[in-house]
Structure 1
Amino acid sequence: MPSLIALKAFDALVRQGNVGRAAQELHVTHGAISHQVKKLESELGTALIERGIKGVRLTPAGRQLSQKLSNAFEQLRDIHLILPSSQPASELRIACAPALLARITPLLRRFQRNYQEMTLHLLPISSDLRLADLVISFGDIHLEGQRFAALSDIHYFPVCSPRLLNAKEHLRKPRDLMHQVLLHEDDGSDWNRYFLAAGVQGLQVRQNVFLPDAYQTIRAAVASGGITISDHILAGEELAQGHLVRLFDVEFPAPHPYFLIIPFHGQQSLAREFADWVLHELDSIPNLETSLKI
């Protein structure tokens, strides 16, 4: 029997269309993919890939093998359907980005009323995703499963504590940010996009503070630790309660939608029910008009 590792490398190469994406899917180097495909060709005694051309083009033998592998791996992925599950049918594990996790948690009361028999485990996105029945991530991630983009019309804008508005440094236009502390949950890309949208590229600010995630930047902004970029979903509760205010009238579209991913393993039907529920709840959150119009 040919090497299973080599078969998986060949299957990934065919599905992804190039060595780079195949290597990314399997978390190996480019050279490892090429080595495994050559090893498979040696074991089978026939060429599978036509070399010297752009992209991946299969030989007749390669096409035949690819079709059989696709069916075989699909059956292997579904093997959990014929095996008894050690996880109770009423138990659901959801991995979620921290800021959205904090936003979803207060909404769970209505879900619990309708699914009183269900046990929920809310996990951080940094946990082992192989244990999750549903993954909610900002932007796509490498995880096999059914996926769909959601909340793709989100726009970002600066938010801060009302106390900062009463400080001696005025906050009336985007250029006034030069006197402020800016909070980042990424490498600075979001603020760069905002400066571009506001027409103040290259603005030098008083200080930059980088935090692990959007949840931490929102908490720091509420504590008057600086100004962060957020949206009406992640900061919606704080905006509604007056703990944060939206600055200026400039916004820009979020660079990625949220992705809801239901892995091939686990409680797929229950995960889809929870996904439908959480999307309905988030879609019903009003886009609060709390801007300071300049």
Structure 2
Amino acid sequence: MSRIPSTQALRALECFARQGTVRAAAEELNLTRSAVSHQLRLLERDLGFVLFNRVGTGIELTAQGRHYATDVRAALSAISSSASRNAGRGLSGRLTVSCTPGFAAFWLAPRISAFRATCPDVDIRIVTPRRLEDVSNPEVDVFIAFGSGDMAGVEVELLREVAFVPLMSPSLANRLGGIQSPGDILRADLLHLGSTEDWQRWMSAAGRLPKEANRGPVFADMNLVYAATLAGQGVSMGDEFICTAAMESGQLIRVTDIEIKSQNAYYLAIPSQNKDLAPASAFRRWVHDAIVGRER
């Protein structure tokens, strides 16, 4: 075909491919199911090849439809990325971002050049608070806090829920000869942040006695915990989200599938008086696309 299909129809296809049903796609797109079905029928007609098989009262993508949907997703992603890159062109000024030490060191610092590429003329300053949920610093434009989400005086958006898992370095794993059961972890020191509470919760989840967690050094800062973990000094109760890159690169090893869900999560918070600041809005879009958008 010579003409480009409608963007709305392509978005409907991409969303259906991810969600698997017309109902779920309609909910995400804030359209009626009949409107989504209509867009998909028009797209199939305009393309001239079969996108869907009818299965009972529903539809599913054909192999050709799946391949086309993958290409559409890549194209829409390229358009979105181009918009993000160019939206920051011409922006200038200063931006102060406060985020937790672990998030700053393990997630933001390795990616800061990506934000700089979108807003090269924005001077960004990264600070870390003493309390992980603190959003009170008047000099900060954007906060990434770790807490319950109950934060006064700021507009709050959930970024990521968190699970904690035992992590160790490859060198420690070699010295221990592998971990076959939760009890094998106790052959190494346990590394704690602030208290032994997280490890006590994990011991209970693993069918062990909580008091078995009361061993090993306690650190006041997450960066110290991870530094000790990377150096093979023990097993830490790690944040699975911010440690993803370290696990993928082989710097850290997830010891077991047993995990504990954190009662807190990462939130992006912007003071009400800063919500219309262009650099703050650009940073919010970039973080949202990097975390929330990528997981859709």
Name the residue aligned to 1:281: 290
C-alpha deviation, 1:111, in angstroms: 1.3
C-alpha deviation, 1:267, in angstroms: 6.1
The answer on 1:191 being equivalent to 2:199 is yes
Aligned length: 198
**After superposition, where does 1:59-78 map in structure 2 within 5 Å?**
none
**After superposition, where does 1:27-66 map in structure 2 within 5 Å?**
none
- Alignment partner of 2:138: what SS? helix
Name the residue aligned to 1:85: none
C-alpha deviation, 1:119, in angstroms: 0.6
Structure holding more strand per residue: 2
When residues 98 and 280 of structure 1 are mapped into structure 2, their CA distance, relative to the original with a 3 A threshold, is: same
**After superposition, where does 1:121-132 map in structure 2 within 5 Å?**
121-126=125-130, 129-132=137-140
> Equivalents in 2 of 1:225, 1:264: separation in Å?
44
Name the residue aligned to 2:179: 171
- Does the 8 Å contact 1:233/1:282 carry over to 2? no
Which of 135, 140, 144 pairs up with 2:153?
Answer: 144
TM-score (norm: length of structure 2): 0.61
> Equivalents in 2 of 1:196, 1:279: separation in Å?
34
Which of 205, 213, 216 pairs up with 1:208?
Answer: 216
C-alpha deviation, 1:138, in angstroms: 0.7
Q: Which amino acid aligns with 1:92?
A: L
Name the residue aligned to 2:116: 112
> Equivalents in 1 of 2:268, 2:192: separation in Å?
24
Q: Unpaired segments of 5 or more residues in structure 2?
A: 1-90
TM-score (norm: length of structure 1): 0.61
**RMSD between aligned alpha carbons?**
2.5
When residues 96 and 206 of structure 1 are mapped into structure 2, their CA distance, relative to the original with a 3 A threshold, is: closer
- Does the 8 Å contact 2:93/2:121 carry over to 1? yes
**After superposition, where does 1:2-17 map in structure 2 within 5 Å?**
none
C-alpha deviation, 1:179, in angstroms: 2.1
- Does the 8 Å contact 2:176/2:187 carry over to 1? no
C-alpha deviation, 1:146, in angstroms: 1.1
- Alignment partner of 1:166: what SS? helix
- Alignment partner of 2:212: what SS? coil
Which of 94, 99, 102 pairs up with 2:102?
Answer: 99
Deviations, residues 15-62 of structure 1 (Å, cap 9, x unaligned): xxxxxxxxxxxxxxxxxxxxxxxxxxxxxxxxxxxxxxxxxxxxxxxx
C-alpha deviation, 1:171, in angstroms: 2.1
The answer on 1:237 being equivalent to 2:245 is yes
| Most deviating of 98-107 and 276-285 | 276-285
Name the residue aligned to 1:271: 280
Paired-residue identity, %:
22
- Alignment partner of 2:267: what SS? strand
Q: Unpaired segments of 5 or more residues in structure 1?
A: 1-87, 287-294
> Equivalents in 2 of 1:244, 1:158: separation in Å?
10
